[in-house]
Copies of this chain bind each other. A is one copy, B any other.
């Protein structure tokens, strides 16, 4: 089969790989129908994480179940399934607590499962999925989604669930004012998640006309192009002299975390989902003095999938709009380049 591999910095290739087979009786084999590139895939691509040997890459995909192990009970061959970005068993204490990202039996896409057996990356034709029952979610009544629905289903693998996690971490609720830092796919989904949770005043921070337009389509009431102190001042002005109740940090840099803190009112809540690059500053003295609560982290999108899937299938939300490019799997190198150079917000890959 064909699968995307990372060979080194800015060196993405689509290679031939052995076709996966069932290795344990809790596995499923999934034929990928759509995958995509994550903002976090760009970090090894940019060389921020050393690549010592070529490895499969990709952790967001949907597909059709081709085979299941003897102990898989919630899935059937032929099901259309969404794979969350984090594999999870569904039965250990963290999974039962809804924190599947801390699963004690987690397998790593493009890495290994808990038995040391190889696991495929998501940007390929076929994937062996360990912990199939605890990981995959079947889409009821749909096997051949159109392209718009395909895109929205694919966001449930990561970015829409991650935006929702940011909104929950920031305690978004009807009547609360919201700022979203970051206009990538996660930031845009965070705007949509905030709107879905009832926020009526949502300030998106963006300097890109296309992203700002999509933020507005998703529910942003205001767009702020300023940064730093000027951005916080603009938020204060827009909100009648106070800072925001809920701030959603969707980037992961020291600068974006500082921006988010600066926009949060005393007693407000900061939800953070940007993958931290190095140790971001979370100055305890500021959190202490301003009573700012901080919550978020890696999103257990598996936990949110059923709820968000319902809203995607009903048409209540259309997060698939974050995909502004669709390419063939063989174009994976170009997909990475387009996202790296910000020529695309998010690229869907079709095997």
Contacts and interface: CB of A to CB of B under 8 A. Distances in A.
Nearest to A102: B266
Nearest to A300: B291
A336 interface: no
Interface string A167-198: 00100000000000000000000000000000
Contacts of A280: 284
Contacts of A93: 241-242, 265
A242 B275 CA distance: 26
Contacts of A332: none
Interface in A274-291: 275-276, 279-280, 282-285, 287-291
Residue among A99, A288, A300 with max Cβ neighbours from chain B (10 Å):
A288
Nearest to A303: B267
Copies of this protein chain in the complex? 2
Contacts of A21: none
Given A276-B284, A284-B282, A285-B279, A97 B298 contact: no
B284 A94 contact: no
Given A290-B102, A294-B294, A297-B290, A284 B266 contact: no
Interface string A90-116: 000110011101100000000000000
A63 interface: no
Interface residues of A, number: 37
Interface of A: 93-94, 97-99, 101-102, 169, 241-242, 257, 265-267, 269, 272, 275-276, 279-280, 282-285, 287-298, 300
20 contacts: A93-B241, A97-B266, A99-B265, A99-B266, A101-B291, A102-B291, A272-B284, A275-B288, A279-B284, A280-B284, A287-B296, A288-B297, A288-B298, A290-B297, A291-B295, A291-B298, A292-B297, A293-B295, A293-B296, A294-B295
Given A93-B241, A101-B291, A289-B298, 19 more contacts: A93-B265, A94-B266, A94-B267, A97-B265, A101-B289, A169-B293, A272-B284, A276-B284, A279-B284, A280-B284, A287-B294, A287-B296, A287-B297, A290-B297, A291-B295, A291-B296, A291-B300, A293-B293, A294-B294
